[in-house]
Structure formats: structure tokens, C-alpha cells
């Protein structure tokens, strides 16, 4: 249940279209409780559920969750194995809910390198939710923004070489069509939990004008009301996109 007082503070006409979250702090949450790290990740799944429910209820159109960075795959084998297992369980459990709530699942990142069982589960859930349109849930899995940019450059060069794209047509908008996020709006709001104030190789290109929100709350403690707080702060910000206050104001009208 969301806090009614917080809900009332939200201007439903000015919701962020796309919210991205760096879900950090699972390990520290577990450590504080003298539990193995994987228990922190397990507890974090409840926060994921809560975010999907809250974002969907509000009418946020796209929610991207950074679940696994490319660098995270170099963590101890046990932890990586545990994360894969949790992901698999999550996908199996989530399918019905995503269908019921008209949510589409997409991924960004190199999913081909994940375990066959996870790949299979992802394929199934993506296929079965492909026609859903109320919200898109994007899981960033084995994702690294620098690798994504290099891959985009490579694909673009290939297209120029084979005549599919003219060099003079290379610009920001044609470039972004080669990124994993080609069919998504750029994030309006980025949230990072656990007190760290860095972007850790997440959506580097796409975040040029994203509003950043940092909170000390550890991911497993982050709930729907915390998302409302982040959105309230976002709505109090003045986005100018490099323009003067007056210009930006007239753009909004
Ligand atoms: C974030 O929590 C989840 C993943 C990176 C998979 P961490 O596991 O990074 O938690 P801390 O930062 O060690 O507390
Ligand atoms: C970022 O968190 C990746 C995810 C939340 C999936 P990390 O915990 O891996 O980031 P660093 O190592 O603190 O920068
Ligand atoms: Mg971390």
C-alpha cells in the first residue's frame, strides 16, 4: 500500500516517462544481518516487485532495472551462480503477472552470454509479453554502456561500408538507433540506491540529460513509497537542456 500523502504530492500529468534504477546495496544489506550476500540479492527481488507494481500503477511507461553489469560477472562463481538462479526463478514467477498487467519485458546487454536456462526463460517471457503495451520493463543483464557504444559504432561502420548508410547521415539520432535502447525514450530519472554516487557503466549515452537521484537506502529496503519520493523530487527539478530558464519554460508550454 502506497502512502496517500505522498501520492497526492505527485503531479500525474508530469510523470517521468522512463525511470532507470541502479539497484545497489544488496551485499551490504546482507552483511549487516550476518547473512550470505545471496540473501541480499534474494531480498532485493521483493523491491523489484514493488517497483514494477508502483511504476505500473502510476503510469510510468518504461522502467529499466540494472540487474547485472558486465563487470558483475567477474564476481565469485558462487555469487554469479546464485544470481542466475534468482533471475531464472524471477522470470518464471513473473510471467503471469506481466501478462495480467499488460507489461512487456525487454532486455539490454549481452544476454547471449548468460546461462542457457536463463536465456530460454528470457526468450519465453519476451515472446509471451511482446504484445503488451501498458508499460515496458527493461532488465539490463550483462550490460555495459561502453561495450554497447563500441558495438553500435562497429555496426554503424559496417552499414556505411556496405552502402546501407551514408556518412553524411551519421548524427546523434541515427547513432542512437544502433544502441540496445533504440526503441526506448531516454531516461528522465535515474535512481541509485545505497549511497554510491556514480553511474557504474550504465546508459552513458542515454543519460546525457537525465535527472539523477541518489539515496542511502539499500536496495532491499527500497519500496514503492521511496519511488514516490524520488518522483516528487524529480518533479521539483528544473530541466533546462542547456537553454536559459526562460527558453526552457516556453518549451514546456
Ligand atoms: C547490487 O548489489 C546488485 C548487483 C550488483 C547484482 P551489490 O551486490 O553490488 O551490493 P553491495 O554494493 O555489495 O552492497
Ligand atoms: C552497479 O552496481 C551494477 C548493478 C547494480 C547491477 P555495482 O555494485 O556493481 O557497482 P560498483 O562496483 O559499486 O561501481
Ligand atoms: Mg554494489
pLDDT digits (tens, 9 = 90+) for 91-118: 999 999 999 999 999 999 999 999 999 9
* For the CA of 30, the nearest atom of ligand 1: 14
Q: Which pTM value belongs to this model?
A: 0.97
Average pLDDT over residues 7-13: 98
Whether 24 is catalytic is yes
Positive or negative, the Cα torsion across 30, 34, 38, 42?
Answer: negative
Cβ-based neighbour number of residue 253 at 10 Å: 4
Q: Per-domain residue ranges for the chain? A: 14-147+186-237
Ligand nearest to the CA of 202: 2
Instruction: State yes or no: is 102 an active-site residue.
Output: no
* pLDDT exceeds cutoff 80 at 253: no
Ligand found nearest the CA of 79: 1
Which residue minimizes the CA distance to atom 3 of ligand 2?
Answer: 69
pLDDT per residue as tens digits for the range 144-202: 999 999 999 999 999 999 999 999 999 999 999 999 999 999 999 999 999 999 999 99
The residue whose CB lies within 8 Å of the most ligand 1 atoms, and thus the one to mutate among 28, 46, 199, is 28
Question: What pLDDT shows up at residue 252?
Answer: 75
pLDDT at 77: 97
Ligand 1 atom closest to 25 (CA): 14
12-59 tens-digit pLDDT: 999 999 999 999 999 999 999 999 999 999 999 999 999 999 999 999
Separation between Cα atoms, residue 151 and residue 146, nearest integer Å: 9
CA distance 237 to 47: 25
CATH of domain 14-147+186-237: 3.40.1180.10
Amino acid at each position: 500500500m502506497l502512502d496517500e500523502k505522498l501520492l497526492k504530492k505527485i503531479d500525474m500529468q508530469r510523470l517521468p516517462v522512463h525511470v532507470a534504477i541502479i539497484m545497489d546495496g544488496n551485499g551490504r544489506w546482507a552483511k549487516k544481518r550476518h547473512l550470505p550476500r545471496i540473501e541480499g540479492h534474494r531480498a532485493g527481488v521483493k523491491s523489484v516487485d514493488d517497483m514494477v507494481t508502483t511504476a505500473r500503477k502510476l503510469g510510468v511507461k518504461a522502467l529499466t532495472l540494472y540487474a547485472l553489469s558486465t563487470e558483475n560477472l567477474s564476481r565469485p562463481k558462487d555469487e554469479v551462480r546464485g544470481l542466475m538462479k534468482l533471475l531464472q526463478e524471477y522470470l518464471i514467477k513473473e510471467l503471469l503477472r506481466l501478462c495480467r498487467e499488460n507489461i512487456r519485458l525487454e532486455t539490454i546487454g549481452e544476454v547471449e552470454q548468460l546461462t542457457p536456462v536463463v536465456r530460454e526463460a528470457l526468450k519465453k517471457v519476451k515472446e509471451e509479453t511482446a504484445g503488451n503495451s501498458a508499460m515496458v520493463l527493461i532488465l539490463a543483464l550483462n550490460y555495459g554502456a561502453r561495450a554497447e557504444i563500441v558495438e553500435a559504432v562497429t555496426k554503424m561502420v559496417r552499414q556505411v561500408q556496405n552502402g546501407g548508410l551514408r556518412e553524411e547521415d551519421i548524427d546523434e539520432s541515427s547513432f542512437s538507433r544502433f544502441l540496445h535502447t533504440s526503441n526506448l525514450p531516454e531516461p528522465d530519472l535515474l535512481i541509485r540506491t545505497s549511497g554510491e554516487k556514480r553511474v557504474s557503466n550504465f546508459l552513458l549515452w542515454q543519460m546525457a540529460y537525465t535527472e539523477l537521484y541518489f539515496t542511502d537506502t539499500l536496495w532491499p529496503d527500497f519500496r514503492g513509497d521511496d519511488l514516490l519520493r524520488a518522483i516528487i523530487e524529480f518533479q521539483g527539478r528544473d530541466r533546462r537542456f542547456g537553454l536559459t530558464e526562460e527558453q526552457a519554460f516556453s518549451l514546456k508550454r
